[in-house]
Amino acid sequence: MGNSKFIIGGALILAAVAYLIVSSTQQAAEYFLTVDEINAQRDSVLDRSLRLSGAVLGDTIQYDPQTLTLTFEVAHVPGDNADIEAQGGLAAVLHAAVSDPARARIKVVYVGPMPDLLRSEAQAIMTGRLGADGIFYAEELLLKCPTKYEEALPEQASNP
């Protein structure tokens, strides 16, 4: 049969690709958690690769240029997109999170250059691990500042 060798070859390749995808997924999976979720499942997530999202609290940002150590705190923001929309969009949610002293917070440590976008009310999306000391050690830090695009119009608007 001329066809069978093609079928076997194709099946072998598909199996290899499926193996690559499954095993790489297992190795590289990062659990996406909110601050509340991390606090609730503290013990079970200890040595896992995590992805954490939160609102940056501007007053807590500290940077030591000698060691390039950056520390700051993030406040809980909902992880579900529908929730964020229901609460008036990302900018409003971040603002509310930062203004609310009762919100759950977590301390973050990151070593590296100070990111350009780090400021109060930015959304930080961090990849890293939760230490036994309750501090989140970030290896990667992404920032999003919706305020820049959705801020209210300036006061000095004038009528022609």
Partner 1 sequence: MLAQFGYGILLITFLLSLYAIAAAVHGYFTQSTRAIESARRSMLLTFPLISLAAASLILLLVQGDYNVQFVYEVTSRSMPTYLKITAWWGGQAGSLLFWSWLMSAFATAATLRKWDRDIEFLPWVIVVASVTLAFFLALNILFEDPFARLYQTFDGSIAAYQFAPAGATPVVPADGRGLNPLLRHPGMIIHPPLLYLGFVSYVIPFAFAIAALITGRTDDRWIRLTRRWSLWAWLFLSFGLVLGGRWAYDVLGWGGYWGWDPVEIAAFMPWLTGTAFLHSVMIQEKRGMLKQWNMVLIILTYALVIFGTFLTRSGVLSSVHAFAQSAIGPSFFVFIGATFVTSIALLLHRWNDLRAEAEMKSLLSREALFLLNNLLFMSVLVVCFWGVIFPLISELFTGQKVTVGPPFYERANSPLFAALMLLMGIAPLSAWGHSTMQTLGRALWKPAIAAGLGTVAIYFTYTTHIIALIGFFLVFFVILVTLYEFWRGARARQRAQNEHFFTALSRLTGRNRRRYGGYIIHISMMLMAIGILGIELFQSETQGTVQVGESLNLQHYQLVYEDIARFTGPDGREVTRAVIQVYKDGQPVAELHPRTDYYWEAQQNMTIPGVRSTLADDVYVLLVDWEPASAIGATFKVYVNPLVNWLWLGSFLFLAGVVVAAWPDKDPESVTARARARGARQISAAD
Strand 136-144 to 105-111 pairing: parallel
The residue among 70 and 106 lying less far from partner 1, judged by its C-beta, is: 70
- Least Cα distance to 110 among 82, 136, 132 occurs for 136
Q: What is the DSSP letter of 38?
A: H
State the residue for tokens 């995590």.
50
**What does the alpha-carbon distance between residue 29 and residue 54 come to, in Å, rounded to a whole number?**
20
CB of 138 to partner 1, least distance (A): 13
**What does the alpha-carbon distance between residue 160 and residue 158 come to, in Å, rounded to a whole number?**
6
Cα-to-chain-centroid distance, residue 75: 12
CB of 73 to partner 1, least distance (A): 20
CB of 132 to partner 1, least distance (A): 22
Amino acid letter for position 73 = E
CB of 131 to partner 1, least distance (A): 20
The residue among 74 and 84 lying less far from partner 1, judged by its C-beta, is: 84
CB of 107 to partner 1, least distance (A): 21
The residue among 10 and 131 lying less far from partner 1, judged by its C-beta, is: 10
How far apart, in Å, are the Cα atoms of 3 and each of 6, 10, 14, 66? 5, 11, 17, 66
The residue among 45 and 104 lying less far from partner 1, judged by its C-beta, is: 45
Point out which residues bind partner 1 (CB under 8 A): 2, 5-6, 9-10, 13, 16-17, 20-21, 23-25, 27-33, 51, 53, 63, 65-66, 68, 79, 81, 84-85, 90, 112-114, 116-117, 119, 123, 125, 127, 140, 142, 144, 148-149, 151-154, 156-160
